[in-house]
Homo-oligomer: A and B are copies of this chain.
Amino acid sequence: MRGFVAGALGLALLGGCVSGDGGSGFGDRASALPPSLAYRLTQSLTTEVGPRLAGTPREAAARDWAVRTLKDLKFGRVAVEPFTIKGWAREREEAFIVSHGDQALAVTALGGSISTPKAGITAPIAFVASYDDLLLAPPDAYAGKIVFINDRMKAARDGSGYGVAVRKRSRGAIEAAKRGALAVAIRSVGTDNTRFPHTGNMNYDAAVKRIPAAAVSNADADQLERLHAMGVPMRLKLVLKTRAIADAPSGNVVADIVGVEKPDEIVLLAAHLDSWDLGTGAVDDATGVAIVVAAALKAAGPEMKPKRTIRVVLYGAEEVGVHGGDAYAKAHAGEIANHVLATEADFGTGRVWRFASKALEADLPFFDSVAAGLRDLGVERGDNKSGGGADIAALAKKGVPIVGLSQDGTTYFDYHHTANDTLDKVDAAALEQNVEVYARVARAFANR
């Protein structure tokens, strides 16, 4: 693998467009221009590594890819900071409406779900209109049943529908099990109308029986909704086979463009290297990786001599519990006060439209001036309550100043955590706007 990745990178990063005529989506979007560095990075990671589930050999391949790429790009210090997680993998997933001609449902196990028995679980469906309705149900309301939760996520530029909709994914198994359910299935947390189910992490509670948890696609959820409305009781057969992996290796890749005046002060640009296993993780989060790498280089300038250190951290194991974010905060506990900024790119490929922050009152004028410098790119000033993002949340909690750059997420949840998250979904022009925004922010803080 080693030789291949090195050779491939040379081609992908240095050789321009590797796609043939009529090839990638990129060709369609900007056929006259050669692909940018950010686009080539996105293409390289999604094509040469592909899916890279946390704790698997493919995530390790992504770390190898990152180390070689960042060295090729002349980052001054490049290191893997390993840690270990409880891994998980899917092996089989299927579901059928056995009461209605054995219609197959497009279904996927939620991340962390246990298996069903080998023959599956066959039981009546308890159709629950929403997660809030589930919470209102009394104990044993769903004894012996498979609970189906039908919440529908709303698309929004700021992704605000996610927080509401994701509750059923995170806690549906717990709340359904409390009420006697044998398993839980949810309408996918996603805004598309396709038959791609959306996976994503789910949780168990040590005090509550663990039950299998799956997501069905929006189109299949519509089908269940219509059949339910007809009043004929439904029975579902759900088969999940998953596997827990003890002590699975993961790690963060940390790469510095070392500052020439204040090398110990750090401007941190964050994205995550792992992806879910179903797709190639293009908008989640290869584009984030590409944005922060390209922005760091752009901010450092051709001589690569920023005043302060510009650090790119490509986190591992974000999807399965933000383990990389925690590991970084722990490993770098001694230098957290040296971080003059942390910002993250993990919301796909839409244009940045808002600059929010979490800064000390005294520092707000400087943050405001940086935000003002983004107006020509269509970026408005947001509030000073930004959490920054999952991977830098641990730093934010410890007081590291944060810039939260909101990308347009209107279509992000059409692809998020699905098999359909592939390179062709990347908007190459918007990607460049992102690089420019992140670069200006990084430059402003590095050279302040």
User: Which residues of A are in contact with B by a Cβ distance under 8 Å?
Assistant: 1, 4, 7-8, 11-12, 18-20, 22-25, 43, 47-51, 57-58, 61, 100-101, 103-104, 106, 129, 152, 193-196, 218-219, 222-223, 225-232, 279-280, 419-420, 422-425
Contact of A225 among B7, B19, B51, B58 (CB under 8 A): B19
Give Cα distance in the complex from A222 to B19, angstroms: 8
CB nearest neighbor in B for A150:
B20
Query: Is B101 touching A223 in the complex (CB atoms < 8 A)?
Result: no
The smallest C-beta distance from A241 to any residue of chain B, in angstroms, reads 14
Query: Is A423 touching B222 in the complex (CB atoms < 8 A)?
Result: yes
Contact of A18 among B193, B229, B280 (CB under 8 A): B229
Contact of A24 among B100, B226, B280, B424 (CB under 8 A): B226
CB nearest neighbor in B for A223:
B47
Give Cα distance in the complex from A228 to B24, angstroms: 13
Contact of A196 among B50, B193, B195 (CB under 8 A): B195
CB nearest neighbor in B for A419:
B195
Centre residue among A8, A195, A231 by max chain B CB count within 10 A: A195
A-B residue pairs in contact (CB < 8 Å), sample of 29: A1-B101, A8-B230, A11-B231, A18-B226, A18-B230, A19-B222, A19-B226, A22-B152, A23-B222, A23-B226, A23-B229, A24-B222, A24-B225, A24-B226, A25-B222, A43-B226, A47-B230, A50-B101, A50-B103, A50-B223, A51-B103, A51-B104, A106-B419, A219-B423, A222-B422, A223-B280, A223-B422, A223-B423, A226-B423
The smallest C-beta distance from A214 to any residue of chain B, in angstroms, reads 17
Query: Is A225 touching B20 in the complex (CB atoms < 8 A)?
Result: yes
Give Cα distance in the complex from A218 to B425, angstroms: 12
Give Cα distance in the complex from A11 to B227, angstroms: 11
Query: Quick one: copies of this chain in the complex?
Result: 2
Give Cα distance in the complex from A49 to B196, angstroms: 21
Q: Answer whether A230 and B12 are a contact pair too, CB < 8 Å, given A193-B424, A225-B23, A420-B194.
A: yes
Centre residue among A23, A101, A218 by max chain B CB count within 10 A: A101
- Tell me which residues across on chain B come within 8 A of A18, comparing CB atoms: 226, 229-230
Query: Is B152 touching A229 in the complex (CB atoms < 8 A)?
Result: no
Give Cα distance in the complex from A8 to B100, angstroms: 11
- Tell me which residues across on chain B come within 8 A of A223, comparing CB atoms: 47, 50, 280, 422-423
Give Cα distance in the complex from A195 to B282, angstroms: 13
CB nearest neighbor in B for A232:
B4
- Tell me which residues across on chain B come within 8 A of A228, comparing CB atoms: 20
Query: Is A420 touching B195 in the complex (CB atoms < 8 A)?
Result: yes
- Tell me which residues across on chain B come within 8 A of A229, comparing CB atoms: 18-20, 23
- Tell me which residues across on chain B come within 8 A of A231, comparing CB atoms: 11
- Tell me which residues across on chain B come within 8 A of A419, comparing CB atoms: 106, 195
Query: Is A219 touching B420 in the complex (CB atoms < 8 A)?
Result: yes
Centre residue among A24, A230, A280, A425 by max chain B CB count within 10 A: A230
